[in-house]
Amino acid sequence: MAKTRKVSNLLALAVLSYLSARPMHPYELGRTLRDNGDERSIKFNHGSLYMVIQQLAKAGYVTALETTREGQRPERTVYALTDADRDEFRNWMRQLIAEPQHEYPSFVAALSLIAALPPSEVLKLLRQRLGRLADRRAEIRALISDVLASGVPELFLVEEDYRLTLLEAEASFVERFIGRITHPETGWGPEWAKFHGEAYPVGENEPNLTSETRPTRGDAAEQAPADQKDPS
């Protein structure tokens, strides 16, 4: 059974991770999070970062080492981890890696209620989503390529590789879903449209030429008339 933690949000996990390397003050932690691109994986801002650090300090997970002031600048408190805090951080990491958690993606919520829209509209939206998924995959591939070119080891981009894999899986699902709606023999579209009191568009139940159903060059050659096939 997962351990219940006094502070359990993922920003706190990132703070513990960076403090396990060396003591830092909150401003430096924020700059480090941004320099390492962590805002792509963990939602935070200046206020939430300071609040999390205060929560960690109250829970005894971080310790204030010193407070300094330079000129007219605000005071800065440097925080560090104790050995016990490092154990807490590592145990938390082990749990997150080993134990899948039930999450609540917004697209899954929309799918659970998708019959509320007519299939004619849903098909347009799904095809729109496919285009945007393709754009996001291209952006991530470009990001990975640029960062690797700067000499960063692939290990430190593994979350982008995972994100890319999820986008590819989602695109594959959307293509299959479109196919299940538009299949000329077993498609869900006609009955779904009838439920909404609308006629299903003529020609919509044509085979959907997604990456899974699009004929290959070999398929095309097999389907061509004999006198059009390559004599070789």
pLDDT in tens, 24-48: 999 999 999 999 889 889 989 889 9
Mean pLDDT value across residues 143-153: 95
**Does the pLDDT value for residue 120 go beyond 60?**
yes
Instruction: Please give the pLDDT value at position 71.
Output: 67
Q: Which two tokens stand for residue 205?
A: 């139940």
Q: Which residue has the higher pLDDT, 211 or 48?
A: 48
Q: How far apart are CA 101 and CA 191, in angstroms?
A: 36
Q: How far apart are CA 214 and CA 206, in angstroms?
A: 12
* pTM attached to this predicted model: 0.77
**Does the pLDDT value for residue 207 go beyond 50?**
no
Q: Which two tokens stand for residue 134?
A: 């393709």
Among 8-22, 65-79, 172-186, 210-224, the range scoring the smallest mean pLDDT is 210-224
Give the closest residue to 201 by CA, choosing from 192, 211, 209: 192
Alpha-helix residue ranges (DSSP H) falling in 59-118: 83-98, 106-112
Instruction: Please give the pLDDT value at position 73.
Output: 73
Among 78-82, 200-204, 224-228, the range scoring the smallest mean pLDDT is 224-228
Q: How far apart are CA 79 and CA 49, in angstroms?
A: 13
The class of domain 10-98 in CATH terms is mainly alpha
pLDDT one-digit tens code per residue, 160-184: 999 999 999 999 999 999 999 999 8
**Does the pLDDT value for residue 199 go beyond 90?**
no
Alpha-helix residue ranges (DSSP H) falling in the chain: 10-19, 26-35, 46-58, 83-98, 106-112, 119-149, 158-182, 189-195, 217-223
Q: How far apart are CA 27 and CA 49, in angstroms?
A: 9
pLDDT band at 5 (very low <50, low <70, confident <90, very high): low
Q: Which residue has the higher pLDDT, 87 or 154?
A: 154
All structural domains of the chain with their residue ranges: 10-98, 106-215
Instruction: Please give the pLDDT value at position 74.
Output: 75
